Amino acid sequence: MEVKQKCVEMGSGVFGKFVYDKNLTQKEEITVETLAGIKKLKLNIENKKVKTVKVDMGEPILEPEKIPVITEKCDIPVKDLDLQIIDKKFSFTCISMGNPHAVTFIDNIKEFELEKYGSIVETDKHFPKKVNVEFIKLVNETYMQMRVWERGSGETLACGTGACATVVAAILNGYASKNTSITVELLGGKLEIEWNETDNHIYMTGPANIVFEGNMEIEY
């Protein structure tokens, strides 16, 4: 039996919906152990089903060696990594949300040649473990549009950690504020992201919907 999210990538949130809707738990706040650490989930219930999930994504990692990113500057955070990629120059803000991200802000996101530039940034020498690359259009201080080139996968419809890194980058560069719910529009849907100043954690809220259910038989 499988549950997939209809719109945006939020794996731990989908897991939360699965265990609640299938009566494996009746708790509305649960913890999930992932490869990126233990995540705390708050399940928002409507008509006895999970409608949206708020995930505590933890603190953003800004130290270059922990992201990791190689830079000649010792500044923390790294928010001015300038790279010449083919015929364009980009300035990246580098963050880890348990995986490495490089975020840059551009004007025309819909017609942007993502594969042309994202594939090169992913494997650039400054990123020893490769990097997820987010290209962002700032609509206003609480609304952003995002396209993402994921390391090893290419362009994907969404990336939850990438949306979190995007908001962190926007705040670090003075484009947005902490303690504010910020909408990140991805190709697959929208996420609400907030960087809480009190505990320094990033909170991500998004939908979780059942797309299909089925049985899989495995022959040995």
CATH, domain range 64-192: 3.10.310.10
Question: So where are the chain's domains?
Answer: 1-58+201-220, 64-192
pLDDT tens by residue, 68-104: 999 988 789 999 999 999 999 999 999 999 999 999 9
69 vs 140: CA distance, rounded Å: 29
Supply 28's token pair.
């509305």
Respond yes or no on whether the N-terminal peptide bond of residue 77 is cis (omega within 30° of 0).
yes
Separation between Cα atoms, residue 19 and residue 12, nearest integer Å: 11
Mention every residue, 6+ apart, whose C-beta is less than 8 A from residue 176: 141, 142, 144, 167, 170, 182
Enclosing H/E stretch for 169: helix 160-172
> Could you tell me the pTM of the whole model?
0.88
CA torsion angle for 10, 56, 191, 67 (degrees, to 10)?
-80
Instruction: Look at residue 215 and give its three-state secondary structure.
Output: coil
In whole angstroms, give the CA distance from residue 95 to residue 89.
19
Q: Is 33 in a helix, a strand, or coil? A: strand
Residue 3 has pLDDT above 60, yes or no: no
Cβ atoms of 115 and 148 within 8 Å: the answer is no
pLDDT in tens, 33-71: 877 678 899 999 999 999 999 999 999 999 999 999 999
Q: If DSSP codes are grouped into helix, strand and coil, which group holds residue 41? A: strand
Contact 201, 58 (CB under 8 A): yes
pLDDT digits (tens, 9 = 90+) for 142-180: 999 999 999 999 999 989 999 999 999 999 999 999 999
